[in-house]
Chain A
Amino acid sequence: MSKHDITLNVNGKKYELTVNSNELLLNVLRDKLFLTGSKYGCGIAECGACTILKDDESYFACMVPAVAADGWNITTVEGLADGDKLNPVQQAFIDNSAIQCGFCVPGMVVTSTALLRENPDPDEDFVKDYLRGNFCRCTGYVAMVKSVLDAASKMKEAK
């Protein structure tokens, strides 16, 4: 197993790291950068708890060898807020009480952020379909879908 020097841009900060060839992006984010917002649920793309953004698109960090992410521009859930000001999806999750145990929420919020960047004016079906890869074992999803629609309308008002 060999070592590799890689560069990751995470939440606007540049990191030069040395990683093993078999390390995963999720482990590097959690164990080396201490960004523990992204969760390890399944490790095989089934649950969505590890979702991050590369540019504006969502990726499962558990599925990406760290070396493959060399040079990527990454946003984790920690990077969504602007200082103390939560992003519209985060705020809407709080306003709509969409959180129970919270384990799935970072992934949910990140995926929803990607959703709104792709389609700022979604309907309920679009949201349900888009979140199909993110599992929640507590809430039953209703408040979450409502939160995303709520965030969309707040963002429209703010414009």
Chain B
Amino acid sequence: MKNFEFIKAPDVKAALALLDKEKDNAYLVAGSTNAMVDIRAGKVNDRTLIGIRDIEALSGIKFSRGKITIGAGTTISEIAESSLLAKKAPVLFQAANQFADPTTRNSATIGGNIANASPAADTAPPLLALKAEVVIAKKGSKRRVAMEDFFLGVNKTVLEKDELILAIEFSANPHSAFYKVGLRNAMAISVVTAAASVRKDKDGNITDVAIALGSVAPKPVRAFNAEKAVLGKKADEKTIADLMKAVSKDISPIDDVRASAEYRKDIAPVIVKRVFCKACGICPNEGRTK
């Protein structure tokens, strides 16, 4: 086995103190589903791993006054089994239910998923579509970062070396949906993912919308052009056509082992349409209420 130190932090305070002390040498591990793979690949040699998986204060899903707070150490299993999220944030619930396999889900955490910042991280588009905020702490201070400012590039985030994600917060939105295209149904890294959330007034005009995509750029991205194409409009055929046209301006996909850039450019508008229509509660093919 590769060489590493391992210290199990009993609580958040201890974890922050360890991060402060170890600085550059520190490496947080929650479920270790990314960490072990990186260790075996020799990317994390001689570091001090700070284990946070059993810290109770970091885990759990809370709902109060329309706001949902998910502890960073909450596992994908807990999210996939949450009846609260199924109702109030289906976009995230659906993503968790397509994530890896049940055993990996028991370990994998939502905090680890976004901190690892893979362009294919499955919880990222849902959290972008929910306009979530990341609550981050270091010894002696706390800050909040909007999800859309959190990712900087492939495996890069705004997190400093001594910082820990405490939680992720967002407003509930039942009108939200997720779609994942993988190479096969099971255990597949995403080829393209899309997530959307909408709010409508009583006349059916879209008053608020957020659309996000995964695996189409160096980081999970908001589709601002696509959003602009539908904001203030009714979800009719013309709006949906405009939406699909706009998506290409939001993405910069590459060729990789899983798919070509061209394929991604072709399917991104189609799955954006799907999640948008699902979030609006309409049938994607006909553009009218079911």
Q: A: which residues have CB within 8 A of B? A: 1-2, 4, 21-24, 27, 43-45, 48, 51, 57-60, 62-65, 67-68, 70-71, 111, 114-115, 129-130, 132-134
Distance in angstroms between the alpha carbons of A132 and B188 in the assembled complex = 10
Q: Quick check: is B248 within 8 A (CB to CB) of the other chain? A: no
Chain A residues whose C-beta falls within 8 Å of the C-beta of B257 in the assembled complex: none
CB contact between B103 and one of A23, A51, A65 (< 8 Å): that residue: A51
Q: Quick check: is B29 within 8 A (CB to CB) of the other chain? A: yes
- Given A1-B3, A51-B103, A59-B103, A132 and B187 contact (CB-CB distance below 8 Å): yes
Q: How far is the CB of A148 from chain B (nearest CB, A)?
A: 13
Q: How large is the interface on B (under 10, 10 to 19, 20 to 34, 35 or more residues)?
A: 20 to 34
Can you list the 6 inter-chain pairs with the closest CB atoms, starting with the nearest?
A133-B101, A132-B186, A21-B6, A58-B103, A67-B6, A63-B36
* CB pairs A–B below 8 angstroms (8 shown): A57-B106, A60-B104, A63-B36, A65-B51, A67-B7, A68-B54, A132-B186, A133-B104
| Most chain A beta-carbon neighbours within 10 Å: one of B6, B7, B77, B106 | B6
- Given A21-B4, A58-B102, A45 and B37 contact (CB-CB distance below 8 Å): yes
Distance in angstroms between the alpha carbons of A159 and B250 in the assembled complex = 57
- Given A21-B4, A65-B49, A59 and B106 contact (CB-CB distance below 8 Å): yes
Q: Quick check: is B171 within 8 A (CB to CB) of the other chain? A: no
B1 engages A24 (CB within 8 Å): yes
Chain A residues whose C-beta falls within 8 Å of the C-beta of B32 in the assembled complex: 63-65, 68
Q: How far is the CB of A74 from chain B (nearest CB, A)?
A: 13
Chain B residues whose C-beta falls within 8 Å of the C-beta of A59 in the assembled complex: 103, 106-107
Q: How far is the CB of B47 from chain A (nearest CB, A)?
A: 11
Distance in angstroms between the alpha carbons of A35 and B155 in the assembled complex = 37
Distance in angstroms between the alpha carbons of A68 and B54 in the assembled complex = 8
Q: Quick check: is B5 within 8 A (CB to CB) of the other chain? A: yes
Within B1-28, which residues are at the interface with A (CB < 8 Å)? 1-8
Q: How far is the CB of A125 from chain B (nearest CB, A)?
A: 11
Chain A residues whose C-beta falls within 8 Å of the C-beta of B244 in the assembled complex: none
- Given A43-B40, A44-B36, A67 and B8 contact (CB-CB distance below 8 Å): yes
Q: How far is the CB of A72 from chain B (nearest CB, A)?
A: 9
Chain B residues whose C-beta falls within 8 Å of the C-beta of A68 in the assembled complex: 6, 8, 29, 32, 51, 53-54
Chain A residues whose C-beta falls within 8 Å of the C-beta of B2 in the assembled complex: 22
Q: Quick check: is B100 within 8 A (CB to CB) of the other chain? A: yes
- Additional pairs, 4, CB under 8 Å, beyond known A48-B101, A132-B185: A1-B4, A111-B103, A133-B102, A134-B101
B40 engages A45 (CB within 8 Å): no
Chain A residues whose C-beta falls within 8 Å of the C-beta of B40 in the assembled complex: 43-44
A4 engages B6 (CB within 8 Å): yes
Chain A residues whose C-beta falls within 8 Å of the C-beta of B101 in the assembled complex: 48, 132-134
Minimum CB distance partner of B97 in chain A = A129
Distance in angstroms between the alpha carbons of A1 and B4 in the assembled complex = 7
A1 engages B5 (CB within 8 Å): yes
Q: How far is the CB of A130 from chain B (nearest CB, A)?
A: 5
Distance in angstroms between the alpha carbons of A115 and B5 in the assembled complex = 34
